[in-house]
A and B are shown apart, each in its own frame.
Chain A
Amino acid sequence: MKLLEHQGKQFLSSWDIPVPRGIVVKTKEKAKEAFHEFNGKAVLKIQVPVGGRGKAGGVKLVNSINDIDEFFAKWQGRDFKSFPVETFLIEEILNIKSEMYISIALNPKAGGLIFIFSREGGVDIEEVAEKTPEKVLKLNLKPTEEYKEYYFRKELRKFGLKGKILTKLSRLAEKLYLNFKKNDLMLVEINPLVIVEKGEIFAADSKIEVDDSGIFRHKQFQEFRELEYITELEKEAQDIGVTYVKLDGDIGIIASGAGLAMETIDLVNAAGYKSANFLETGGGITKELIHRSVHLVTKDKNVRAVIVSLYGGVNPLVEAAKGLVSGKQSLDRDVLIIAKALGNQQEECWKILEEAGIPILKNHRSEDIVEVLKQRLEVAS
């Protein structure tokens, strides 16, 4: 789960990391109201869980009510990289002396964490690292070791920092490190980390990603989960226990594995159709799960056909078949549903589907299920 900037800043603040004064708003009216608290100038930012908003004009210095009108005209009700823009953050303007970069992230390559610091912030750190690697400090942190403040102080000192700013940064680094581990994070990034005229540091932006698999042991994130930036259909999917990602086509996809679902989408699209969604059941199939998945996928009224692709390893194919039949029979509109199933209990599964008149493909070839789709849709038209 990626926290929005303002949610992340709430956590940074609770770890005693200074953040600019800001107000979260949902409407233009509230933004105008809030603007009066910032002495005639402020920063207005869209809140989306994905990067690149600065370049797209999603972060703007506003000097007047007119500027706010313009910003909302541009963003309200729009999508940014397929995420609807619903929340805005209006913040005080900092008296910036310099901008730096600091983060801790997972490091899959080394099987640990990585600490990254640069005196150049507010820019794409990957680019800086590529063009001028000497400007970026990278430290691999081993999962079985404990790193203390002095470790970061020593490394930052060797990197050329000294005095007050050195200790401010080493303490900040230790805080980020300890909270990363304590809260099961996958990323904490402050870019830019702003140094103001008086030498104080502020987190001017915040990117925090929480490990979904670790949320069960962190109450503080469970409430964010409720507020998570997801659509009604995605919420329902969470409730059913499946993963659902909406795409913009008209062929629904249900598959018993992530790779299989992605592959089916690729094949459907390559055949000239467009997939309406990605729905992956994972290994916990029950009759009810499939029944509800059929309803979920077809709630999107564009969907005119659904491909269901299943393998019975840990999943019980008989339960899946029963759920598919009851799901189809209880739909309030006619949607073509075709299935492909192989694995443990396959014969029983096929029999149930055949008796219910659901076309069933009995081999491993996903290309063939797309072929079946094609034939059926041609017959239908």
Chain B
Amino acid sequence: MSILLTNDTRAIIQGITGRIGSIQAMWMKKYGTNIVAGVTPGNGGTEVERIPVYDDVFETVEKHQANASVIFVPAPFAKDAVLEAIDAGIKLIVCVPEHIPVNDTLIMRSKAQEKGVILIGPNTPGIISPGIGKLGIMPANMFNKGRIGLLSRSGTLSYEVAGYINAAGYGQSTMIGIGGDPIRGADISVYLQQFDEDPDTDIVVLVGEIGGSVEEDAANYAKNMKKPVIAFIAGKNAPEGKKMGHAGAIIDGKQGTVESKVKALKEAGVIVADRIAEIPELINKLYENQNISEIASAKE
């Protein structure tokens, strides 16, 4: 069915009265997401898109049993919003804003880990479980329900890859934008493990890019996965030392290049697509060659 964002999710929107928060509240609700409340300190008692607004996160947990939050608070204040959600007992936090200072992310990340909270992002389009809901800014019409787990560092590329997957007649169990910053909340291995254990996901597709080592970490975890992983890495023509849009997308000497990532992934048995357009063929092959569940049990 899906991971993390499921039928049990009762979500709130922090920063719901802001310019972006209020528009995105409308899109998320329109898609059918179970949004139980919004929070903007000082605006308690009002409504946005007929969603009740509260002054703090604790009240939404008490009154609506909220268990997930999507953050639309401006970057300078995002850390405090995330810490409030963690403290209030929220277990899934989607941190959308870009340009959050790395030192703030380090604190959010370690507090989340301490309390067993899954923090997606920051600098993420969010998470969508087609047919169930979305917490984030991705256009919903880019995603179809299906059995492919999709992970991406880039929002726009996740839309592109989903488009190719949909056109081939497949769809996504869940898509997670893991975040474009150098430091992320949850590690890639957390998502890979969830997909590996999800009875409704057959194959995981990972969309990476230059810079950092998240693809190498993924390779390391994929070695012991039951399910096949297909990866694609963007940025073959990126020059050294230049930040390619995402704060984390930068080649530093020999580190972070497409070649080094592809090598690590291939060595771990991950199938690497040279072009995005190849991904549907690779999925076809996996389904044709063998029943996926047979592959899974053979690996066990």
Q: Which residues of A contact B (CB under 8 A)?
A: 49-52, 81-83, 106, 108-109, 111-113, 142-144, 181, 184, 186, 211-214, 216-217, 243, 245, 247, 255-263, 265-267, 269-270, 275, 278, 280, 282-283, 309, 311-314, 342-344, 363-367
B159 touches A (CB below 8 Å): yes
Q: Contacts A211-B102, A343-B142: A259 and B157 contacting too (C-beta < 8 A)?
A: yes
B236 touches A (CB below 8 Å): yes
Q: Which residues of A contact B164 (CB under 8 A)?
A: 364-365
Identify which of B42-50, B239-247, B284-292 touches chain A: B239-247
A7 to B240, alpha carbons, bound, how many Å? 21
A286 to chain B minimum Cβ distance, whole angstroms, is: 12
Q: Which residues of A contact B107 (CB under 8 A)?
A: 143-144
Q: Contacts A262-B210, A342-B159, A366-B276: A109 and B217 contacting too (C-beta < 8 A)?
A: yes
Tell me the nearest residue of chain B to A268, going by C-beta: B237
Q: Contacts A108-B184, A314-B137 given; 5 further ones with Cβ under 8 A?
A: A109-B213, A211-B102, A245-B242, A367-B275, A367-B277
Q: Which residues of A contact B152 (CB under 8 A)?
A: 259
B245 to chain A minimum Cβ distance, whole angstroms, is: 3
Q: Contacts A214-B102, A367-B277: A50 and B245 contacting too (C-beta < 8 A)?
A: no
Q: Which residues of A contact B75 (CB under 8 A)?
A: 213
Asked if B139 and A214 make an inter-chain contact with CB atoms under 8 angstroms apart, the answer reads no
Asked if B102 and A262 make an inter-chain contact with CB atoms under 8 angstroms apart, the answer reads no
A344 to B249, alpha carbons, bound, how many Å? 27
17 A-B contacts (beta carbon < 8 Å) = A51-B253, A212-B247, A213-B100, A245-B243, A259-B209, A260-B154, A265-B237, A267-B275, A278-B238, A278-B242, A311-B142, A313-B159, A342-B163, A364-B160, A365-B164, A366-B160, A367-B277
B156 to chain A minimum Cβ distance, whole angstroms, is: 3
Q: Which residues of A contact B238 (CB under 8 A)?
A: 262, 265, 278
A356 to chain B minimum Cβ distance, whole angstroms, is: 23
**Which of A50, A83, A255, A283 has the most B CB atoms < 10 Å from its CB?**
A283
B92 touches A (CB below 8 Å): no
Tell me the nearest residue of chain B to A212, going by C-beta: B247
Q: Which residues of B contact A106 (CB under 8 A)?
A: 102, 182-183
In B106-122, which residues have CB < 8 Å from any A CB?
A: 106-107, 109-111, 113
Q: Which residues of B contact A344 (CB under 8 A)?
A: 27, 139, 141
Asked if B157 and A260 make an inter-chain contact with CB atoms under 8 angstroms apart, the answer reads yes
Asked if A255 and B156 make an inter-chain contact with CB atoms under 8 angstroms apart, the answer reads yes
A143 to B107, alpha carbons, bound, how many Å? 6
Q: Which residues of B contact A (CB under 8 A)?
A: 20, 24, 27, 75-76, 98-103, 106-107, 109-111, 113, 125, 137-139, 141-142, 152-160, 162-164, 167, 180, 182-184, 207, 209-210, 212-214, 217, 234-247, 249, 253, 275-277
Interface SS, A side? mixed
Q: Which residues of B contact A142 (CB under 8 A)?
A: 110
Asked if B110 and A143 make an inter-chain contact with CB atoms under 8 angstroms apart, the answer reads yes
Q: Which residues of A contact B213 (CB under 8 A)?
A: 108-109
Q: Which residues of B contact A256 (CB under 8 A)?
A: 156
Asked if B160 and A263 make an inter-chain contact with CB atoms under 8 angstroms apart, the answer reads yes
Asked if A144 and B110 make an inter-chain contact with CB atoms under 8 angstroms apart, the answer reads yes
**Which of A51, A111, A144, A280 has the most B CB atoms < 10 Å from its CB?**
A111
A81 to chain B minimum Cβ distance, whole angstroms, is: 6
Q: Which residues of A contact B160 (CB under 8 A)?
A: 260, 263, 364-366
Tell me the nearest residue of chain B to A266, going by C-beta: B236
Asked if B240 and A262 make an inter-chain contact with CB atoms under 8 angstroms apart, the answer reads no
B142 to chain A minimum Cβ distance, whole angstroms, is: 7
Q: Which residues of A contact B212 (CB under 8 A)?
A: 108
Asked if A269 and B237 make an inter-chain contact with CB atoms under 8 angstroms apart, the answer reads yes
Q: Which residues of A contact B183 (CB under 8 A)?
A: 106, 108, 111
Q: Which residues of A contact B240 (CB under 8 A)?
A: 50, 81-82
Tell me the nearest residue of chain B to A316, going by C-beta: B23
Asked if A213 and B102 make an inter-chain contact with CB atoms under 8 angstroms apart, the answer reads yes
A51 to B251, alpha carbons, bound, how many Å? 12
**Which of A108, A275, A366 has the most B CB atoms < 10 Å from its CB?**
A108
Tell me the nearest residue of chain B to A315, going by C-beta: B137
Asked if B209 and A108 make an inter-chain contact with CB atoms under 8 angstroms apart, the answer reads no
Asked if A50 and B277 make an inter-chain contact with CB atoms under 8 angstroms apart, the answer reads no
Asked if B182 and A108 make an inter-chain contact with CB atoms under 8 angstroms apart, the answer reads yes
B104 to chain A minimum Cβ distance, whole angstroms, is: 8
Asked if B99 and A212 make an inter-chain contact with CB atoms under 8 angstroms apart, the answer reads yes
Asked if B141 and A365 make an inter-chain contact with CB atoms under 8 angstroms apart, the answer reads no
Asked if B139 and A262 make an inter-chain contact with CB atoms under 8 angstroms apart, the answer reads no
A280 to B109, alpha carbons, bound, how many Å? 27
B167 to chain A minimum Cβ distance, whole angstroms, is: 7
Q: Which residues of B contact A143 (CB under 8 A)?
A: 103, 106-107, 109-110
Asked if B76 and A217 make an inter-chain contact with CB atoms under 8 angstroms apart, the answer reads yes
A145 to B133, alpha carbons, bound, how many Å? 38
Q: Which residues of B contact A257 (CB under 8 A)?
A: 154-157, 245
Q: Which residues of B contact A269 (CB under 8 A)?
A: 236-237
Q: Contacts A111-B109, A278-B244: A263 and B157 contacting too (C-beta < 8 A)?
A: yes
Q: Which residues of B contact A212 (CB under 8 A)?
A: 99, 247
A20 to chain B minimum Cβ distance, whole angstroms, is: 25
Asked if A216 and B109 make an inter-chain contact with CB atoms under 8 angstroms apart, the answer reads no
A236 to B15, alpha carbons, bound, how many Å? 31
